[in-house]
Structure 1
Amino acid sequence: MSVLPTFTTLGSGPTVLMLHGIGGGHLAFAPQVESFASSGYRAVAWDMPGYGHSAPIEPYTFKGLAESCLALIEALGCEHVVLVGHSMGGMVAQEVVARRPERVSRLVLCGTSPAFGKPDGEWQQAFVAERTAPLQAGKTMAELAEVLVPQMIGPGALAEGVRLAQHCMGLVNPSTYRRALEALVTFDRRANLPHIHVPTLLLAGEHDRNAPPAVMKKMAQAIAGSTFLEMAGVGHLQNLEAPEAFDAAVLNFLALPGQLLH
């Protein structure tokens, strides 16, 4: 049995499990943990393996990340959960639903895609090299965050949300960041989209260059009965750039009649 990832939890009711992106941690969902808990849910935000106090996994793969997430779902005593995945966390969520669909009652995918880039090794290696170059040059994760976060947001971003995003990214272990980037470029679950049969909400940021609205809209078209929403004025970090609009969209989706939530 692998060591369980660490997580934060608040509230009681149906479990909403939030999976952060590559530059995140459980704190990246701090506004949602409070908001969902006060709306009658048990809000749980994990630290992906290698993040926060979660032990890293070896090898660092989507299979391993999904197994770690499933172990957490079991440890929480849930038959199934609402999975909310942002960016790389949205890829982990897709991996979980591909492997164990019965464990997921509803799916919320934000700022994510069903595959990473072009399936050609050179392009992917160049992406990893470009993202890790500042670390190779001796920059810290906090310095990296100061450059990267402002490039990810839209013009309508809430200043305190942007500060929280920079803070989270500054806390990421550089070797985990490198391992996560290397895993990221291997992801491809496009073939599974038509097999997703749980109510699914896809949230895109108007100015998101990492997971553009057109990519997410196409993804939504491949998932039967899914709902696609584009959030105006924001970029890649929707839940921190516009927390109130984000929370309202998710809570409205969870309140829709559909599968029974426990």
Structure 2
Amino acid sequence: MMDVLVNGHKAYCYTGGKAFDAAKPSVVFIHGVLNDHSVWILQSRWFAHHGWNVLALDLPGHCRSEGPPPASVEEAAQFVLALLDAAGIEKAALVGHSFGSLIALEAAARAPQRITRLALVGTAYPMKVSPALLEGALNDPQRAIDMVNSFSHSMLAPPPSTLGPGTWLYGGSRALMRRVLASNRETNVFHLGFKACNDYAGGEAAMSAVQCPVLFVLGKSDQMTPPRATQALRAKAQGARVMQVAAGHALMSEAPDEVLFALRDFLSEAR
């Protein structure tokens, strides 16, 4: 793990159990709303132990990262690019899930010469959030957390490679979301993140500016960002690749190996 000073605030990054080495090829993992770096635990550790420099970040104002949480996709994208500057990374691959996928997309559009690969996991554009979820995230976040978990999972028990026997997907995800929400006593990062997703209107323009290969990793049973909702982005992406896996929106826990292998094969071409 490492702390990087970005815009005057400490930004936490998990390095997958290996020391940071900017000389290696780098990959940045970006989480979604009410998540943190831990959702990438399997993928980040695998890359760190197979020759990659890994930064699995906590967004500002989330858990171990300081500073005001980003109020828009554009603001979060600027943070990611500032993180690369602060860490001394000239070029990197970006991997983002849900809200994080929009952040990765926008960052790749703003600095196309610096991004070697772009992987969008559980993505959609536009990423509209239902009025019920927006209202719930603002006024009754615990109820909204339950709603999101119901919509995000397509199975009760995970494959053995996720976190081991006895793992409860719904309970684990609910506990993480509650912990992330409680980590910021000043700002409701749940509602702020959902609003940022809902308000983002630059997806097609951003994809048109992306110059690197793009991978879509999508859950066949995803109710939050169904695969059909990627059509606008896929039409703008040059030579886009699409991998659909048997999972809901929580792809990294419901299909951990499939997500890892898709990222492994895709990112290995950038080395």
Q: Output one character per residue of 1:158-211: Cα deviation in whole Å (capped at 9) or x when no partner.
A: 173725433321211261212222222111222222222201110100011111
* Aligned partners of 2:30 and 2:97 also within 8 Å: yes
* Aligned partners of 1:16 and 1:43 also within 8 Å: yes
In structure 1, how many angstroms separate the alpha carbons of the residues matched to 2:70 and 2:50?
38
For 1:168, the aligned partner's letter is L
The reply to whether residue 39 of structure 1 matches residue 50 of structure 2 is yes
Segments of structure 1 that go 5 or more residues without pairing to the other structure are 118-122
Counterpart selection for 1:222 from 233, 236, 246: 236
Segments of structure 2 that go 5 or more residues without pairing to the other structure are 1-6, 160-166, 183-187
Provide the aligned C-alpha RMSD in A: 2.4
* Aligned partners of 2:106 and 2:206 also within 8 Å: no
In structure 1, how many angstroms separate the alpha carbons of the residues matched to 2:69 and 2:156?
39
Partner of 2:155: 155
> How much has 1:127 moved relative to structure 2?
4.4
Within-5 A mapping of 1:119-198? 127-135=133-141, 139=142, 144-155=144-155, 158=158, 160=167, 162=169, 163-173=171-181, 175-188=188-201, 189-198=203-212
In structure 2, how many angstroms separate the alpha carbons of the residues matched to 1:198 and 1:14?
15
TM-score by length of 2: 0.82
Q: Identical aligned pairs, as a percentage?
A: 25
Partner of 2:264: 251
Q: Which runs of 4+ in 1 moved over 3 A?
A: 123-127, 130-133, 143-147
For 1:132, the aligned partner's letter is L
1:56 and 1:34, CA in 2 relative to 1: closer, same or farther beyond 3 A?
A: same
1:63 and 1:192, CA in 2 relative to 1: closer, same or farther beyond 3 A?
A: closer
* Aligned partners of 1:97 and 1:104 also within 8 Å: yes
> How much has 1:48 moved relative to structure 2?
0.8
* Aligned partners of 1:52 and 1:172 also within 8 Å: yes
In structure 1, how many angstroms separate the alpha carbons of the residues matched to 2:105 and 2:192?
19
Partner of 2:162: none
Corresponding pairs, count: 246
In structure 2, how many angstroms separate the alpha carbons of the residues matched to 1:211 and 1:157?
21
Partner of 1:116: 127
* Aligned partners of 2:208 and 2:237 also within 8 Å: yes
* Aligned partners of 1:25 and 1:48 also within 8 Å: yes
Partner of 1:54: 65
